[in-house]
Structure 1
């Protein structure tokens, strides 16, 4: 089990295939300006800085890990995750 508390605002809207943000019409005022949908996710690595494990601000679905942690998970036979470079 992993509890990821750190959130980083680093989604690169322009580099993603498509992003959709929550608007007033969605009827969820507490989520206004957050991401409703992200296709072809890409992050701005310059904004990540030293974060090694984190969730994305406004789009909490994926957990982002750096290459070293990914390798350690795979080397220890951790299963159930899917890794995609973003």
Structure 2
């Protein structure tokens, strides 16, 4: 069983923490910075959790972008 805490697991926990702290865009950046080999290294359940966290982070990033866009329109900004 694979239980070591390497760079991949630490990045997965950084992603999860960012999403849980409502910092979705930063979490997406963490996930996208991961090397493909590092993504494949952890156990299946951690890889699945990464996909869920990434989806939640992207959703939060889109909501933040839409809120900013809506604010700019309400202020007459481009």
TM-score, normalised on structure 1? 0.27
From the two aligned structures, give the one with the greater strand fraction: 1
